[in-house]
Structure formats: C-alpha cells, structure tokens
A = this chain, B = another copy of it.
C-alpha cells in the first residue's frame, strides 16, 4: 500500500488548514469554498480550490467531489495537540509529566527524567501552573501522609510559605520536605522522627522547584 507522502505546507496553506479546523469547531460543519475565500480575501472559488487541492495532495484533507462542504480531515489529524488542548479545557482534565529518578546535573523536567504522564482532574491543577508529578522515594514525610511510591503533584507557580511541603533540588537530588525560612535561614524539615532537619548552607547546591499541591497514592 502506497501512502501519500506529506510535504511541507506553504504559509497560506497552513493558514487555510487552521481556519478550516477552527470553523468546524465553532460551527459544527466545515466551510464552503466561498466562506474560505471570504475569510482570506480570495474572490475566486478556483483560487481557494487550488489551495484545497494542494492540501489533499499533501495528505492533510479529504474532499468529497461535488458535495457541498465536502471537506474533511485525514485520519491522522483527528486528535492533534490543538484538539487535545481544547478537549482538556472542555472535559476538565490536565495531562502532566511524571518525574521518576532525576539524573545528576539535569533540570528536574529534563526529558530523561520523565518516565510517563498522568491525567488529573482540572479541579486539582490548572494548566497555567506548570505542574508535574514526582514519584516519592524514601519515607521522610510519612507523618503528613506522603509515602514511598506516592505521586506528589507539584506546582511551580504557587507562592511558598513556611510549613508548606515543597520539592527542591539539593545537591543534585530531588527531595520532598517541609519548608522553613527564618530570617533568611532555610531549613528542609522531614516529617519522620527518624530524620533530622536539614539546614541549607550557602555552599549547598540548592534550588526550590515548587510547592506540593496534591498527593496521589495507588494501593496495590
């Protein structure tokens, strides 16, 4: 089976393709040649048709011959990132990355640290919060119900205050602790008697990543 080879769209073609998508989302049916022409200031239906023919040839569209509004998208355009964004808003969820082990010297959200993603209800997080999930290692926070294997949901955008649970990078390790800042002296406080509070020294490689805003635990 020979598949149509996708090739690069011209700027005009891309504009028209986006318009057709938006038109259909807003109206529930695709536009006509004349409606496209009206939008782009193209007075000739043949000019519009040439663009559509190119989009068909390049594999982005299907056109039903002689059918009014006979424009549809090729199969592999059905769920695009734009659609997913719209669906996330409409259905009320967010898909966020899950950070597992953090490689030394890498930003926490580096590609190599991402071991998957998780879908959460929008009531937990907003898209603008730049959230991610971090898989918990260790038992330093069990007194506040955060256990090894849990996912903590982290927002990079929330203000952090004393007693908040935070995620921080400390000497190339991601850690979850209770945050304390008194007179500029920062402590990361475990919530397990087995461990002592950590005072951040000036020489420590320390960075606050974000505030823990949720916990998800899966019991097996």
Q: Interface on A for B, CB 8 Å cutoff?
A: 24, 27-30, 32, 62, 64, 67-73, 78-79, 84, 87, 90-93, 95, 118-124, 142, 145-147, 150, 165, 212-219
Contact = CB atoms under 8 A, between A and B. Distances in A.
Given A29-B30, A78-B90, 16 more contacts: A24-B28, A27-B64, A27-B72, A29-B29, A32-B68, A68-B68, A68-B69, A119-B119, A119-B120, A142-B145, A145-B145, A145-B147, A212-B219, A214-B217, A214-B219, A215-B219
Contacts of A28: 24, 30, 62, 71-73, 78
Contacts of A27: 64, 72
Q: Is the interface of A mostly helix, strand, loop or mixed?
A: mixed
Contact of A90 (B73, B79, B150, B165): B79
The 7 closest A-B pairs by CB, nearest first: A28-B72, A145-B145, A68-B68, A119-B121, A215-B217, A93-B119, A69-B69
Contacts of A165: 219
A33 to B, nearest CB: 12
7 contacts: A68-B69, A87-B87, A119-B122, A124-B216, A142-B145, A145-B147, A212-B219
